Structure 1
């Protein structure tokens, strides 16, 4: 199984189709093993052989991605709320969940007033200590649970403004209510700000939060209002 995953990773990371010989070399496998793995992956639909004899990802990869999204058990109205928030503010809207000590992005609706953030895309894990999504969800946790989460995920420095000690984060969150909008200014990406808020009822598992991002470090008050309204809509 691990060798088949290595093959898929190499094909997915390449900017062009790969031959079996190239796959074998990059994966450190002998040629006969590579031919066997590639044939099996093609049969299962995870790779596609072109008439030229090289290989691309197959349709089953997309199917597994959609299965993953279904497993998130997003609220039924989630996509409608995300797209409406992005359309009415012009800013990219994000939905994320916190479960089993993992912050995972479950949906993104892009807006022209926000930069593209490659690390905040559907299906990716995000850093709870440096993102507004994570901060909003940590407000729903007791202080001891927040510290345990940070100990497990770590506090990587993304920019000079990133909090890297639990005490710094507690200074930000201390005294805030779990229904408040929480912001970060340049902590995840320089010259980018984000605002996030937990969805009502976020004490359940999984917990959900909505956020928006802005180009620059200012978040207009009317955007924060729209964000709160969207979270209220999603929470029912």
Structure 2
């Protein structure tokens, strides 16, 4: 939802804002810092952090600062498990990473959003902090997203791109629906799709849809090309998952 609902419950919204600020911080936060970052009064912040601690979503350190609680991790794993991933998905990804040396990914379009559900690290790939299990990624700038977009009817593809928007990540990122359509025009659904420096500078990625599913597998590589051998192994992995 992009518009604020008329029946928004402010207290729930504030509690989630507190949880988000604590979760994204690189160190424990005091209540005063939480209040300042969330634009809340100190009294309201104390009530919210105590409630979140009681429910297990925040943890109070001995010095009085706050960290994310164990319930956050539990909800994360439940979310990942809720997706009906292909059988042996983790095994196939680990094998792909092992034989190519490149990090392997499994992703799906969910409500028009590209969500990464599994990752197997490889030493020949850079660390991409935005392509982590459970995170959303950009469908227009990633090979995973392009492979899934290619499998959609043109009208649906345009709706997905328009709804998500086309933010620029590098100077090579396509920033219009027409740019993406032009890239995909010469490809057939199911083909391996590549992007070169569109999501991160000096990083190339390849992606392929798992036949008969709404899933895609992908790999990343340093530089602006994906080795032909790695592309071939990626296509094999997609067929294995089918």
Regarding TM over 0.5, the answer is yes
| TM-score, length of structure 2 as denominator length | 0.90
Shift of 1:21: 2.8
SS for the counterpart of 2:52 is: helix
Counterpart of 1:184 (choices 195, 201, 212) is 195
Shift of 1:234: 0.7
Shift of 1:165: 2.3
Q: Does 1:40 align with 2:51?
A: yes
1:140–1:8 distance in 2 versus 1, CA, 3 Å: same
Please give the per-residue CA displacement for 1:196-224, whole angstroms capped at 9, x wherever unaligned: 0000103xxxx110000100012111101
Shift of 1:3: 1.2
1:141–1:111 distance in 2 versus 1, CA, 3 Å: same
Work out the CA distance in 2 between the residues paired with 1:171 and 1:25.
46
Shift of 1:148: 1.7
- The root-mean-square deviation of aligned C-alpha atoms, in Å, is 1.4
Q: Which residue of 2 aligns with 1:29?
A: 40
Q: Does 1:107 align with 2:118?
A: yes
Q: Does 1:4 align with 2:24?
A: no
Please identify runs of 4+ aligned residues in structure 1 that moved more than 6 A: none
Shift of 1:154: 1.5
Counterpart of 1:194 (choices 205, 224, 228) is 205
Work out the CA distance in 2 between the residues paired with 1:48 and 1:6.
16
Structure 2 portions without partners, runs of 5+: 1-11
SS for the counterpart of 2:137 is: coil
Q: Does 1:213 align with 2:220?
A: yes
Counterpart of 2:73 (choices 43, 62, 74) is 62
1:169–1:30 distance in 2 versus 1, CA, 3 Å: closer
Q: Does 1:226 align with 2:233?
A: yes
1:151–1:21 distance in 2 versus 1, CA, 3 Å: closer
